[in-house]
Every structure is written in structure tokens, then in C-alpha cells.
Amino acid sequence: MTAYTAVVTVRLKRGVLDPEAETTARALERLGFELEELRAADRFEVDLDAASEDAAAERADAMAERLLANPTIHDYTVEVESR
Amino acid sequence: MTAYTAVVTVRLKRGVLDPEAETTARALERLGFELEELRAADRFEVDLDAASEDAAAERADAMAERLLANPTIHDYTVEVESR
């Protein structure tokens, strides 16, 4: 077994409104910052032991499907690195 | 001016309790997943126009200092890519 860290990034699907990100962008503008757009995402770093990088990615993918992301409104990506 | 995307990742400092991440980890375990640890972070993707990559990184850093991160409890990293 090797020690891996799987990074699961969960984003709202394109077209799903994100009032919190919108509020953050407006607040930055009120502070004088210039920006075009701001998107917010959740990042989960999962330390796990697995037989291979593929096995680690598969497990992290299943975690996203079952709990970390809501398939109705979220897209997600999984990246695995050994630690 | 060039179009950049600055990715600001905001993490709790080591030692700061994160009950939400703890709850997520326990919920994954209850679903039958094996994992060692789970950390949660906020990821902000900021689209902005700047004269250089350094200028874009500097502005994103200032955004983190002023609004996106709370220096008492958070660490943050900034990565810039052209888009």
C-alpha cells in the first residue's frame, strides 16, 4: 500500500447561480480591485492508502459521487499525488 | 494587458480545528470508505486583466490579504495562469 493524497475539486456547473461568489466579487470591486469574474469551488484533500494511483483515484471518485459533490449542480475533478 | 486566471487557495492553519471536515471524514467512513485524513479548503478562481503575470499575482495576493483569507486562522497560496 502506498500513501496518496487525492485532491477533489467540486465546482458549480456552468449556469448554476452562485450568489456567494457574486457577493465576493462585488466586495472586491468595492475595495478597489479590478476583476472580470470570480468563481468559488470546494477543495477536499483526502489522505488515503491504496495499492496504486489508479485505485486511489477510483476511491476518491466514488467519494465525490456518494458525498462530496451533488451531481445535479456540481462538476468535480480528481487529482492524485503520492505523499 | 493580458487575461489571467489567479487561483487563490485558502486553507485553515495547521492546528485550527475544522469540525466540518471532521464530519465529512466520519461520514465517508460510515459509507465504507477508508481514509487517513481529510482537509477542506476554499478555492477562488479570479479572472482578471493585468500587465504581467507578476502584476496579476500581486493583485490576487492583495485580494487574499484584504478579503478572501483571514490571516488569524488561514494560510493561502496564489497561482496564476494565462487564459
Residue B57 pLDDT grade (very low, low, confident, very high; cuts 50, 70, 90): very high
ipTM: 0.93
Distance between CA atoms of residues B25 and B37, nearest Å: 7
* Amino acid A62: pLDDT: 98
Integer angstrom CA distances of residue A62 from A68, B32, B44 = 9, 11, 24
B5 close to A1: Cβ distance less than 8 angstroms: no
The mean pLDDT of B39-44, rounded to a whole number, is: 98
Listed by start position, the domains of chain A span: 2-82
Which CATH code fits B2-82?
Answer: 3.30.1280.10
Which residue among B24, B45, B59 sits closest to A41, beta carbon to beta carbon? B45
* The pLDDT value given to residue A75: 98
Average pLDDT over residues B63-76: 97
Strands (E), chain B: 2-12, 37-50, 74-82
Shortest alpha-carbon distance between residue B15 and chain A (Å) = 16
As a whole number of angstroms, the distance between CA B64 and CA A61 comes to 30
How many inter-chain contacts (A to B, CB under 8 Å) are there? 89
With beta carbons less than 8 A apart as the criterion, state whether A44 and A78 touch. no
pLDDT tens by residue, A19-61: 999 999 999 999 999 999 999 999 999 999 999 999 999 999 9
